[in-house]
Structure formats: C-alpha cells, structure tokens
Amino acid sequence: MADTDALRAVMIKAAERQLAASSDNDIATRAVCEAAGVTQPVLYRLFGDKRGLLDAVADHGYERYAALKAAQERTDDPVSDLRAGWDGHLAFAKEHPALYQLMFTPRPWSHSTARARVFDLLVAALVRCAAAGALKVEPRTAARLILSANVGIALDHIARPTLFDDPALSHRMREAVFSNVLTEATEQAEGDPLRTAALRLRAQLELHGTGALEQAETALLLRWLDRIAGHGAPRP
C-alpha cells in the first residue's frame, strides 16, 4: 500500500508539472508515465484513465489549497478572516493558474471533490461569522454566493491578467458580495431579531454542540432554527 501511495504521488506530481507547462491545460498520459518512470498500464491500474489522473491532480490541488488556508492566521474577528480568505483564494489562483482551472472549471465527467471541499472550508468560516451575529443568510447560501464570485474574478484574472491585475477590482467585487450576506452594526440592531438569533444559535450549536440535549432533540432544534432563519421577518 505504501509503495502504491508513493507511486501515485510521483505520477500526480508529474502530471501537475506537465499541466503547468501546457499551453492548453492538458496532459499526455505517455509523457506523464515517462516522467514517472512507469508504463501506461500502471497509470490505468492506479487511476483508471486520463480523467481519473486529472481528478487526482485536482484533489491534490485541494490539499495544497487547504494547507494555505491552515497557514492563514486566525483572529478573533471572523469577518476579517473571511476577507483575508477571499484574498488568499485569489493568490492561490495567481500562483497555480493551470491547477486552479482544473479544480474550478466545470468538467461534466469529473469526479473530483476539490471544489466541494473548498466550499466546505468556506462554510466553516461563515459559520464562525454567523456565530458572531455577522451573517444575514444561512452559511451555505452565503458560501454559494461568495465562492461563485471569488472563482469568477480569479478565472478572469487568469484569462486576462492585465485587465484584472488591480487588487481594487477584486476588493470591489468582494465588498459587493459581502454587503449582501454580512450584517452591519445598524442592521443587527434594526433587522429581524428572531431570525438573527436563530442563525446565531444554529451556528453556535454547529461549532460547539451541547450536552444538554439528546441527539434527536438537537436534530429537532436545528430543524426549528432552520425554519425560523428561512422564514424571514414576520409580515405586519
């Protein structure tokens, strides 16, 4: 098993190097096998086919992305951390453009979990914001909006770097999206207090859990909180 894992890692690195050097974001399996010192049947045994190898490269890219996120300083201000996370995402795209496109450009046949796992990291960051009372919508909805915008600006930068090289453009997009999902101090005071409390309590439960309730009771409470948070402000 250890030898197989080591051989997979060598082939993934060889494929990633070829991908980065490619002019069309593609790889040749024969060249990958030659670089790794193996025959093509080995590739088919370990990855199934070229698509499986590309999926493995994309998932390995997630590990690099997650390591970058883990190295990001975590402060007591989850909103500031969220802003830094947006910038870190764009920095990853700039540093690894071919790998980034493999991870985030839709491929209908792909079985890679990279994008879904990046989405989960963002949800976790937004749960922290919700627990602090700084989120107006539930974390998964906010994550869909933020990730779509972050990926869009990153892919545009890769495609046309001279037009999208000014960080101010990225920050304008960031603040436009954040204004729709994050609360301001006045909004926290004037918004629907019940919905805000439901979002916050649900996030606190997700982060910390509680020993005061049984598992079934916790599940029921979460369902009620979801209904309150999704209902919005009561009609007059």
pLDDT tens, residue by residue, 84-123: 999 999 999 999 999 999 999 988 899 999 999 999 999 9
Rounded (5°) CA angle 209-214-215 = 70
pLDDT digits (tens, 9 = 90+) for 70-83: 888 889 899 999 99
User: Tell me: the pLDDT tens digits for 13-66?
Assistant: 999 999 999 988 899 999 999 999 999 999 999 999 999 999 999 999 999 999
Residue-level length of the chain: 236
pLDDT of residue 28: 94
The answer to whether residues 173 and 221 touch, using CB atoms and an 8 Å cutoff, is no
How would residue 225 be classed by pLDDT, with cut points 50, 70 and 90? confident
pLDDT confidence bin for 202, thresholds 50/70/90: confident
Residue 235 pLDDT: 36
- Per-residue b/e over 212-233, b at no fewer than 16 CB within 10 Å? eeeeeeeeeeeeebeebbeeee
**Nearest of 113, 119, 115 to residue 104 by alpha carbon:** 115
Q: How far apart are CA 137 and CA 226, in angstroms?
A: 11
Mean pLDDT (the chain, rounded): 87
* Average pLDDT rounded to a whole number, residues 139-160: 95
Q: What is the pTM of this model?
A: 0.77
Determine the Cα–Cα distance for residues 153 and 217; give it in Å rounded to an integer.
42
Q: Taking Cα atoms as reference points, which of 207, 137, 206 lies closest to residue 178?
A: 137
Residues 117-129 pLDDT 10s:
999 999 999 999 9
What local confidence, expressed as pLDDT, does residue 192 receive?
65
Encode 130-145: b = buried (16+ Cβ within 10 Å), e = exposed.
Answer: bbbebbbbbbeebbee
* Per-residue pLDDT at 214 exceeds 80: no
Is the torsion defined by CA of 47, 49, 118, 91 positive or negative?
Answer: positive
Give the pLDDT score at 234.
40
Residue of higher predicted confidence among 57 and 136: 57
Residue 186: what pLDDT? 40
pLDDT for 156-193, tens place per residue?
999 998 877 788 889 999 999 999 999 874 444 445 66
DSSP state of 223: H
Tell me the domains of the chain and their CATH numbers: 1-48 (1.10.10), 65-231 (no CATH)
Structure confidence at residue 178 (pLDDT):
96
Q: Are 103 and 114 in contact (CB under 8 A)?
A: yes
